[in-house]
Amino acid sequence: MCSPAAFGHHASMKISSGGQSGVDRAALDVAIERGIDWGGWCPKGGWAEDYPQPPGLLVKYPLLKETELAHPLQRTEWNVRDSNATLILTNTTGLAVSVGTTRALHWARQHGKPFLVLDASDPAAPAAAAAWLEAQLARFGSEMTLGVGGPRESEAPGIYGAAKTMLAATLDRMARKAAPPA
């Protein structure tokens, strides 16, 4: 669980992601570092581009659950399906660089899930993400699951660092807003 100071009264938000290198991994790492509940689906065998052999990324991220299939698109759809809302982070290359990211947007629309697509390298992204996330927390309550996804590191070099920095800045912004005045 994340600390109450992180989100005000929304202390039990969960971050869900598939663990692929890049945006997925940045979301999980930020959640772990911040003490936020995390999980999600990964392909059967724990496959990720940098963990190709079973048990794959499950060694590092044991709370992930394996999908029935080894194909990563099933992981992507199930993470969108099982989240209340989906945050999709890209960089200047946009959505087209990643089939999985494009499919995540498609499935968010298909499953009727609120979504936000942001360029993680945009200096305005943390403020936009914080405002959107606060609205989702107000809508879904403290048990909300936020799906986070985007391109792999090989599809958008540097996206892990940009996404991790942006997500940390978003959470910092929300924590400052939730903190009582000094």
For the question of whether the overall pTM of this predicted structure is more than 0.95, the answer is no
Q: Give residue 12's pLDDT.
A: 75
**C-alpha to C-alpha distance for 133 and 170, rounded to whole angstroms:** 9
Q: Give residue 27's pLDDT.
A: 98
CA–CA distances in Å: residue 23 to residues 4, 41, 80, 152: 25, 14, 14, 7
Q: Give residue 182's pLDDT.
A: 66
Q: Give residue 151's pLDDT.
A: 97
CB 44 within 8 A of CB 52: no
Tokens 């299939």, located at residue: 69
The dihedrals phi and psi of 122, each to the nearest 5 degrees, come to -75, 125
Dihedral-angle region of residue 112 (phi above 0 means left; psi in -120 to 50 means alpha; beta otherwise): left
Q: Where are the alpha helices (DSSP H) in the chain?
A: 4-7, 23-34, 72-81, 99-110, 125-140, 159-178
Q: Give residue 181's pLDDT.
A: 73
**C-alpha to C-alpha distance for 94 and 153, rounded to whole angstroms:** 13
Torsion angle in degrees (nearest 10) through CA of 47, 37, 17, 46 = 10
pLDDT string in tens for the chain (182-residue length): 344 344 444 457 999 999 999 999 999 999 999 999 999 999 999 999 999 999 999 999 999 999 999 999 999 999 999 999 999 999 988 898 999 999 999 999 999 999 999 999 999 999 999 999 999 999 998 789 999 999 999 999 999 999 999 999 999 999 998 877 76
Q: Domain-by-domain residue ranges, the chain?
A: 4-38+71-178
> What CATH class does 4-38+71-178 carry?
alpha beta
The sign of the CA dihedral 150, 151, 153, 159 is negative
The dihedrals phi and psi of 69, each to the nearest 5 degrees, come to -110, 155
DSSP string, 114-152: -EEEEETTSTTHHHHHHHHHHHHHHHH-TT-EEEEE---
